[in-house]
């Protein structure tokens, strides 16, 4: 096997994940211009974001299972084509229901075709440095908001009038096609799969079916840990800027705290990937989840812009670092040929957790007038995720290469 070509696979994964996730998350940039241009309420426009996550969650499983059968190339090409169509049609919609259906459902479903199939393909290319490889694919998702959101803002300023969201969104559709479709042509399966048959700690057979894998205690433990992990950090992430502003930090400076958390997340993905390759994914995950749960409580003690920057870096480092490790645990526990389907379900469950945090934060603030209980409950969920992660029992050993 030419392991060197695996790094080309990683580069493609970073690129397509960046474009896909960045395009989806750019809705926050388009929110105000869309509301001003159409008269739609912000709540109705934001509903598209909820549908994004639901569509991406379902899509992660469906596309992941299909990639096991047909390969990542055709799945990523199909998803990239759908993403461009979704953005293009959304830019021309005249009703809020059509916008919600197209931008929310279609774009979310399309983005689900990118991360899980690319992650599954990446782990098939690597034995050594596997955690780092998966972390780099995940970095692409983190880079999406860093690159695509400012690009969306810049594109709106280039139109016939300030805030021309329709032209900007249509241009992003063209960018999605121009980057994802040619990049997908570079994807291919390894000639000799690495670790063709993973077994769990209970020595599961290499011909395990997808259904048997999904109902196994191992899959349930990984899914529950991922669910609690995402439920823990999604609320503090979504309400971060509002909380910091409520603590007396000017609005623009409060927004920069969010960027600092993103920077910490990028670093965490790389560092945790390197550590995981050395000591294993499970102990790295447990340590990272413990750090995340502790860091969430630190928000209540922080004060001043410098203090919030420090907490944001630690918090971002922790939640960004743990995210790629679930893919490694799945690969260490189940046969590689069903990696896409199993990991797709795990990711789908995690997105249900992602949906809880923002709602919980809004409920807590509306009920108590502050975010205190959000951080207490979120910290408990984060530490609970670390406890659940202790129940995960991957094989822990290096997988043996088998002929194709």
Q: Tell me the per-residue pLDDT of 87-112, one tens digit each, with 9 for 90 and over.
A: 999 999 999 999 999 998 899 899 98
CB contact at 8 A, 16 and 137: no
Which domains does the chain possess? 1-194 (1.20.1250.20), 195-395 (1.20.1250.20)
Name the residue among 397, 1, 403 with its Cα closest to residue 199: 397
- Give yes or no for residue 194 having a pLDDT over 70: no
- Identify the residue with better confidence: 284 or 263: 284
Q: pLDDT tens digits, residue range 19-58?
A: 998 888 787 778 778 888 888 887 788 778 778 878 888 8
Q: pLDDT tens digits, residue range 148-191?
A: 877 887 888 775 656 688 999 999 999 999 999 999 999 988 87
Neighbour tally for 1: CB within 10 Å? 16
Average pLDDT over residues 224-251: 87
- Give yes or no for residue 292 having a pLDDT over 80: yes
Top mean pLDDT of 3-12, 153-162, 221-230 is at: 221-230
- Identify the residue with better confidence: 197 or 121: 121
Start-to-end CA distance of the chain, whole Å, equals 10
Angle, helix 217-238 to helix 339-368, in steps of 10 degrees: 40
Spatial neighbors of 91 by CB under 8 A, at least 6 apart, are: 165, 166, 167, 169, 170, 173
> Average model confidence (pLDDT) for the chain?
84
Q: pLDDT tens digits, residue range 343-378?
A: 888 988 998 888 788 778 878 887 888 889 999 999
* pLDDT > 70 fraction of the chain, expressed in percent and rounded: 90
- Give yes or no for residue 233 having a pLDDT over 60: yes
Residue 207: pLDDT band by 50, 70, 90 thresholds?
A: low
In terms of C-beta distances under 8 Å and separation of at least 24 residues, what long-range contacts does 43-50 make, across chains too? 44/96, 44/100, 45/96, 45/99, 47/100, 47/104, 48/99, 48/100, 48/103, 48/104, 49/104, 50/104, 50/355
- Identify the residue with better confidence: 2 or 400: 2
- Identify the residue with better confidence: 126 or 313: 313
* pLDDT > 90 fraction of the chain, expressed in percent and rounded: 34
Tokens of 140: 């692409």
Average pLDDT over residues 261-277: 87
pLDDT at 161: 59
| Rounded-to-integer distance, Cα 355 and Cα 374, Å | 14
- Give yes or no for residue 390 having a pLDDT over 50: yes
Average pLDDT over residues 9-17: 91
Rg (CA), the chain: 20
Average pLDDT over residues 292-307: 93
pLDDT at 53: 79
* Least confident stretch, 56-60, 119-123, 189-193, 252-256: 189-193
- Give yes or no for residue 18 having a pLDDT over 60: yes
Tokens of 335: 């046969």
């Amino acid at each position: 096997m030419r392991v060197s070509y695996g790094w080309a696979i990683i580069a493609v994964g970073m690129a397509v994940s960046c474009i896909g996730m960045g395009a989806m998350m750019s809705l926050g940039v388009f929110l105000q211009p869309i509301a001003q241009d159409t008269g739609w309420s912000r709540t109705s426009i934001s509903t598209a974001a909820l549908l994004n996550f639901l569509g991406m969650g379902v899509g992660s499983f469906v596309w992941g299972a299909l990639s096991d059968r047909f390969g990542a190339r055709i799945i990523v090409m199909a998803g990239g084509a759908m993403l461009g169509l979704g953005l293009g049609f959304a830019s021309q919609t005249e009703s809020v229901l059509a916008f919600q259906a197209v931008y929310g459902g279609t774009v979310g479903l399309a983005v689900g075709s990118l991360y899980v199939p690319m992650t599954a393909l990446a782990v098939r290319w690597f034995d050594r440095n596997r955690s780092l490889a998966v972390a780099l694919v995940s970095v692409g998702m983190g880079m999406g908001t860093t690159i695509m959101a400012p690009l969306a803002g810049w594109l709106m300023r280039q139109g016939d009038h300030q805030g021309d969201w329709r032209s900007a969104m249509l241009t992003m559709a063209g960018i999605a096609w121009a980057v994802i479709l040619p990049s997908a042509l570079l994807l291919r399966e390894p000639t000799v799969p690495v670790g063709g048959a993973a077994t769990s700690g209970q020595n599961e057979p290499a011909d395990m079916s997808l259904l048997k894998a999904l109902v196994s205690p191992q899959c349930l433990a990984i899914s529950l840990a991922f669910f609690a992990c995402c439920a823990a950090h999604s609320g503090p992430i979504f309400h971060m800027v509002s909380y910091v502003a409520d603590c007396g930090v000017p609005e623009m400076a409060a927004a920069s705290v969010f960027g600092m958390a993103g920077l910490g997340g990028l670093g965490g993905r790389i560092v945790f990937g390197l550590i995981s390759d050395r000591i294993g994914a499970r102990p790295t995950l447990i340590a990272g989840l413990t750090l995340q749960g502790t860091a969430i409580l630190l928000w209540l003690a922080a004060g001043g812009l410098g203090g919030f920057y420090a907490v944001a870096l630690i918090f971002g480092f922790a939640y960004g670092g743990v995210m790629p490790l679930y893919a490694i645990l799945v690969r260490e526990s189940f046969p590689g040929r069903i990696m896409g389907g199993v990991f797709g379900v795990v990711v789908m469950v995690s997105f249900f957790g992602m949906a809880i945090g923002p709602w919980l934060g809004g409920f807590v603030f509306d009920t108590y007038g502050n975010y205190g209980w959000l951080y207490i409950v979120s910290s408990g969920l984060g530490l609970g995720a670390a406890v659940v992660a202790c129940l995960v029992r991957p094989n822990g050993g290096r997988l043996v290469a088998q002929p194709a």
